[in-house]
Amino acid sequence: MSNQTLQHFLTTNLKELKEQGLYNEINSIRGPNQPIITIGEKDYINLSSNNYLGLANHPKLIEATIQATQHYGAGAGAVRTINGTMSIHEELERKLAEFKDTEAAIVFQSGFNCNMGAISAIMDKNDAILSDALNHASIIDGCRLSRAKILRYEHSDMIDLEQKAKAAKDSGLYNKIMVITDGVFSMDGDLCKLPEIVAIAKKYDLITYVDDAHGSGVRGHGRGTVHHFGLSKEVDFQMGTLSKAVGVVGGYVAGTQALIDWLKVRARPFLFSTSMTPGSAAACLTSLDLILSDPSLTETLWEKANYFKQGLLDLGFDVGHSETPITPCIIGEETLTQEFSKRLFEKGVYAKAIVFPTVPLTTGRIRNMVTSAHSYKQLDQALQIYKDVKKELGL
């Protein structure tokens, strides 16, 4: 018999989540994650994928995965620091450094692992981290793991950031101070104010860290938010994922050779977890080559994302301040937002509701992710369904 204390905890808390409408039912899709997905026996227009450029299903990536798997094997067989570093991992790191215009790069098994390992490898209990209030959960957990003093500044509020940076610096309490921000904020699609952040960092000697999970492959002609602002030489850590626009899996940090050398001997997920599969590394390499050589990939993404965003505006929806293909459709009250998502689902659009505590109370939204692989016909069908649901709910 399992532990009774554990069973009571699980039963009570699962029941509470379901009663509050906060229990997330996980949908299993049949087949690939593409513009049309199949759940059960029904097809849906997919507006919830991070597969921005449609590369997760690209035949060249699939072929690269197969060939590398046949050559290197299904798994790497060890952690990177023993004998799990294969030539294809090093090739990927060289390509990422080129992609981000830095001296070097290091690859992790996931973006979450990346933030957990990289932040805590540099920052410790004698340091402080200035973190944007809307930073991703992996940043928050990475900061906590470091044991540094976390100083949260209001979202993209540069006055608040500078005041807290000055106070931290003037206090003399900290050996190092870092400012960390998402490049693109995943719930609203807005960009960080990177030029201002870099200026404040220079003024107060702050280490700069940008998590560009949703910017790489999307902004800056595909090279990301830091490149978009022309600040590749001014940011200490350029972190990103290989699971969104790149279409595979993994995470990385790009920076100086000295930084990467340090992370390779101090970042715990790199040291103690088996390395990325060779097939995934090969697919990432192929994806990066496509992004760098074919500007139409990102251009098409932006054309379709702007088309859908304008369509929602024309229907009278609030899409917030998005500056990226992430398009929130802000409904407001939590129960109404969930009902809106449910009606969309019933009519064939898969677009998830995002409510408190992921976003502030009364700012519930449907988060739409348009990709370059969507057809205009599919987007028009989705917009018509949005129109129908809006009318049904009297909005």
What pLDDT, on the 0 to 100 scale, is given for residue 20?
77
E strand map for 141-229: 149-153, 177-182, 207-211
Interval 250-273: pLDDT, tens = 999 999 999 999 999 999 999 999
Each residue of 91-119: pLDDT tens digit? 999 999 999 999 999 999 999 999 999 99
| pLDDT tens for each residue of 274-291 | 999 999 999 999 999 999
CA dist 186 and 270 (Å) reads: 26
CA–CA distance, 255 with 257 (Å, rounded to integer): 7
Measured CA to CA in angstroms, residue 89 lies from 94, 256, 285 at distances of 9, 18, 9
pLDDT of residue 135: 96
Task: Kindly give, in sequence order, each residue whose CB lies less than 8 Å from that of residue 167, ignoring residues fewer than 6 positions away.
Answer: none
- What is 104-121 written as a DSSP string? EEEEES-HHHHHHHHHHH
Show which residues are catalytic.
Answer: 186, 214, 244
Compute and round to an integer the Cα radius of gyration of the chain: 22
Torsion of CA 308, 284, 297, 354, to 10 degrees: 10
The predicted-structure confidence for 1-18, as pLDDT tens digits, reads as follows 579 999 999 999 999 988
**In the chain, which segments carry CATH 3.40.640.10?**
58-293
User: Over its length of 395 residues, how does the chain's per-residue pLDDT go in tens digits?
Assistant: 579 999 999 999 999 988 877 787 889 999 999 999 999 999 999 999 999 999 999 999 999 999 999 999 999 999 999 999 999 999 999 999 999 999 999 999 999 999 999 999 999 999 999 999 999 999 999 999 999 999 999 999 999 999 999 999 999 999 999 999 999 998 888 999 999 999 999 999 999 999 999 999 999 999 999 999 999 999 999 999 999 999 999 999 999 999 999 999 999 999 999 999 999 999 999 999 999 999 999 999 999 999 999 999 999 999 998 999 999 999 999 889 999 999 999 999 999 998 888 888 899 999 999 999 999 999 999 999 999 999 999 99
Give, rounded to a whole angstrom, the gap between the first and last alpha carbons of the chain.
51
What's the pLDDT at 1?
Answer: 56
pLDDT of residue 360: 84
Helix/strand/coil (H, E, C) string of 4-24? HHHHHHHHHHHHHHHHCCCCC
* pLDDT value, residue 217: 93
Q: Which CATH architecture group holds 58-293?
A: 3-Layer(aba) Sandwich (3.40)
Fold classified for 21-50+295-392: Aspartate Aminotransferase, domain 1 (3.90.1150)
Instruction: Provide the residue type at 228 as one letter.
Output: H
Residues of the chain within CATH 3.90.1150.10 domain(s) are 21-50+295-392
- H-assigned helices in 223-295: 225-228, 257-266, 268-272, 278-293
**pLDDT, position 144:** 97
